[in-house]
Structure 1
Amino acid sequence: MEWDFERCYRAVDSRDPRFDGWFYTGVFSTGIYCRPSCPAVTPKRENVRFFPSAAAAKRAGLRACRRCRPDAAPGSPDWNTRADVVGRAMRLIGDGVVDREGVPGLAGRLGYTERHLHRMLVAEVGAGPLALARAQRAQTARILIETTGLGLAEIAFAAGFGSVRQFNETIREVYAVSPSELRAGRTRQRGGTSPNPDPSGTVGAINLRLAYRPPLHADALLEFLALRAVPGVEKVTGGTYRRGLRLPHGPATVALTPLPGHVAAELRLADVRDLAPAVARCRRLLDLDADPDAVDGLLGADPALAEAVAKEPGVRVPRAVDGFEMAVRAIVGQQISVAGARTTLARLVAAASATPDEEDGAGEEDGAPEPALRPFPSAAQILALPDSAFGMPASRRATIRAVAGAVAAGDLDLDPGTDRAELVRRLVALPGIGPWTAGYVALRALGDPDVFLATDLGVRHGAAALGLPSTPTTLDAYAERWRPWRSYAVIRLWRTQ
């Protein structure tokens, strides 16, 4: 999205929260940077400069405003929707790849040299991969300082810093206070209550507020997830979605409750180093970084969808926390009902749980609200299952085994930073995977905003209910007017049938 000074300044002057995360306001007279909706007095034009990322503002020598918390703003919709190298890099950085694999690992995943990747990110985002990862570490550290009773040295390494000294310097640079002062300030705001009074220092639940751009049609999200919830992995009760997660350093459980202005998240992690990827995956699952105004504006301009958009603004695309899980779901769901797919998946989960891998079971202590919830089985667990555990035709079982084998061998990458066109090409090359399955994986696992499933029976029924063409060829041609948001049109058609 192209921005000019006047447009950005008008957004800041009106304190419009829709622009939070799109850009950041640097105020050089005070040395801070803010989100556009910051309630502070609008700065003078001559003192302002706009930045495409928080890391770029930090690179310019500015510190984060402690009033509006710009590091907690919704992410830019660009990084979830763009399929180019920069968009893919931002998704991988958000998932913690730089912390786990370094810049060489990030560059290797994207197929570019470190130097060229650095140049591309600086040109578009205003900072290189190390600076972007460092900004994320600072935010992760702040969350741990304010919401847990961990010692500051433990937090330093949990957040990904190489040393306590680097941690202290970064927190001072970003927030203009020391880590201990940051914790003391948060304690005062809570009326003297420490973040975690447990004298053992055990980390319990980490409670966060995940911001989004309104409107958010929470009921549509929860209904979609509840209908497809796999017993043993996920559950929707009382307006809260709960599930098990498989994270880089161990399993976790998460509870997500949509509320006005934010989603309340309760995370229970086996390893606090997984905080950043857990948050990134929860945001991705609920499509919290979307720009509903842009999506609804285009879809609502079509008379066929106008009434549905007006009635239910802010419908999101439920995405995924695990690409392999979504691929298995798509294969199981071929030519059977949603209820039937759920039953089959529940059998797979139960069979895999009977022979857990070495990480399963961690993170289910300390009074976790749903100790029965586990991560979806890994590729290795699926491969280890006997044929009798699948309960499906042999051809479909062979397809799942082929995908699991390719993932386990590193030949198939289902992470959000994967090249979308290349993934679709690799998927359809596998036996038993056609355009519908590959498209469904791209829509939900990769978050591609422009997938249209013209052959899907639910999509066709929804189109017919709206008086639209319902044959795949004619419907696909009609859907061209919904670019680049055809994935959102699919969700709306599913809700219409």
Structure 2
Amino acid sequence: MSAAWVRLGRVESTVRVWRAGRVVDPHSVIGGLRKGPGDPAYVFDAARRTVWRATRTPEGAVLLRLTPRGAEVEAEAWGPGSAWALDGVPELLGDADSWEGFEPLPAHRALVDAARRFPHVRVPRTRAVFEAMAAAGIEQVVTGKEAFRGWRSLLQEYGEPAPGPGGPAGRPMKVPPAPEEWRLIPSWQWLRAGVEGRRSRVVVTAATRARALERTLELTDSAEIERRLRSLPGVGVWTAAEVRQRAHGDADAFSFADYHVSRNVSYALIGEELDDDGCAELIEPYRGHRFRVQRLLELAGITHPRYGPRKSLPTHTPGATHRLR
């Protein structure tokens, strides 16, 4: 990567160019990090295919702009976390991921087509474990719309203004709160954001163990990473998978225990909706790449038929019993 200093008015940024050696579309790779179109920490400029991402690093807050240029990506960063973020751009855009050993079965036509349409998609590695855990905790057992509203509300109230220009013109951005800041959010503010006690406790508990969570980045055994993540109260197979997908770059971290994923994947592969057990058997030949299967089919936009209006799952209400996610 080459580096240079650029002055925009009174705001300095660091610019590096990553020569990937393959076509890279940042939004296709890390679009799963965005919590809805109103996410204060992630803005996608569709006209330029440019991604703006505000995040927190071990060295402080950073605003990162990623602009694709064929087989290169121009990365521009503002804030004290700039060097850390820029050093991690290749991993963030999937450079540590490999399709080796992944071969769609001919009978799974939808997957064959998706792999042909999105050959350059990789699994990202953000190296931000607590941040991924906070987002996943808020997303537990509710619809995406509800989760996105909660995330947006909490970041608008408690997030730090993004460094530098703060975001693209007319779109101020926020850096997610630090662990100690999540812990100080009053219970009534969680409820005001639509996040009830069960989910807020997951985030607050994770905040007390943030350093231990970040140490899981040093591990290479996926099973051990999952075990440590699930040692936190309120963290089940789904939440651990969401964190591994985002923070650890785990191409096998399939989202079991999700209301739709197993049904979507099985419907795309064989035209039949299966539960988690049935889907697990179906995708067993892809072990090591099961999340890759999920992500490719998501990008292809294939979902199972839905009958009736969307609604919230009743299991997120206080006192309800449900499968641990």
TM-score above 0.5 = yes
Q: Deviation digits for residues 394-446 of structure 1, max 9, x if unmatched?
A: 11122221111122xx4433553245433322332322211111122112211
1:302 shift after superposition: 4.4
Does residue 266 in structure 1 map to residue 76 in structure 2?
yes
* 1:62-120: CA deviation from partner (whole Å, max 9, x where unpaired): xxxxxxxxxx4xxxxxxxxxxxxxxxxxxxxxxxxxxxxxxxxxxxxxxxxxxxxxxxx
Q: 1:414 to 1:325 in 2, by over 3 A?
A: farther
Contact kept in structure 2, 1:270 and 1:362, CA below 8 Å = no
1:493 aligns with one of 281, 286, 297: 297
Q: Name the structure 2 match of 1:434.
A: 236
Comparing 444-453 and 377-386, the one that deviates more: 444-453
Q: Which runs of 5+ in 1 are unaligned?
A: 1-71, 73-142, 149-195, 354-359
Matched, 1:208 2:16: yes
User: 1:476, CA displacement in angstroms?
Assistant: 0.8
Higher RCO, 1 vs 2 (CA within 8 Å, ≥6 residues apart): 2
> Displacement, 1:270?
3.1
Residues 216, 485 of structure 1: alpha-carbon distance in 2 compared, 3 angstrom cutoff: farther
Q: Distance in 1 between matches of 2:255 and 2:161?
A: 37
Query: Unaligned 5+ residue runs, structure 2?
Result: 304-325
Rg (Cα) greater in structure: 1
Q: CA deviation at 1:256?
A: 0.7
**1:451-480: per-residue Cα shift (whole Å, max 9, x none)?**
222433234213213316622112112222
1:384 aligns with 2:184: yes
Tell me if the contact between 2:128 and 2:214 (Cα under 8 Å) persists in the aligned partners. no
Matched, 1:405 2:205: no
TM superposition score normalised by structure 2? 0.77
Q: List structure 1 runs of 4+ shifted beyond 6 angstroms.
A: none
Instruction: Give the alignment partner of residue 350 of structure 1, picking from 156, 162, 181.
Output: 156
> What pairs with 1:48-127 in structure 2 (closer than 5 Å)?
72=1
How many percent identity over aligned positions? 23
Query: Structure 1 length as normaliser, TM-score?
Result: 0.52
- Would you say 1:479 and 2:267 are equivalent positions? no
Question: What does the per-residue CA deviation read over 1:120-159, in whole Å, with 9 as the maximum and x for residues that have no partner?
Answer: xxxxxxxxxxxxxxxxxxxxxxx45xx13xxxxxxxxxxx
Q: Which amino acid aligns with 1:424?
A: E
Aligned to 1:307, the other structure's residue is in SS state: helix
Partner residue of 1:280?
Answer: 87
- 1 CA distance for matches of 2:149 and 2:130? 18
Report which of the two has the higher share of helix: 1
Deviation at 1:235, TM superposition (A): 0.8
Match of 1:241 in 2: 51
Which of the numbers 231, 235, 255 marks the counterpart of 2:39?
A: 231
Residue-by-residue CA offset, 1:238-292 (whole Å, 9 max, x unaligned) = 3111021323333221111222111121112336xx41x2123333332134335
1:387 corresponds to which letter in structure 2? S
Count of residues paired in the alignment? 290
Q: Distance in 1 between matches of 2:115 and 2:27?
A: 14
Matches within 5 A, 1:318-337: 318-320=124-126, 322-337=128-143
Structure 1 residue 325 displacement after superposition: 1.3
SS in 1 for 2:74: strand
Cα distance, 1:368–1:341 mapped onto 2, change above 3 Å:
closer
Instruction: Report if the CA contact (8 A) 2:138-2:147 is conserved.
Output: yes
Which has the larger share of strand? 2
Instruction: Please provide the CA RMSD for this pair.
Output: 3.0
Contact 2:66–2:74 (Cα < 8 Å) also in 1:
yes
Structure 1 residues 396 and 414: CA distance shift in structure 2, 3 A: farther
Letter in structure 2 aligned against 1:383: R
Q: Which has the higher mean CA deviation after the structures are superposed, 212-221 or 337-346?
A: 212-221
Distance 2:265 2:256 in 1: 11
Matched with 1:467 is 270
Deviations 1:367-401 (A, max 9, x none): 87568323211110000110122232211122221
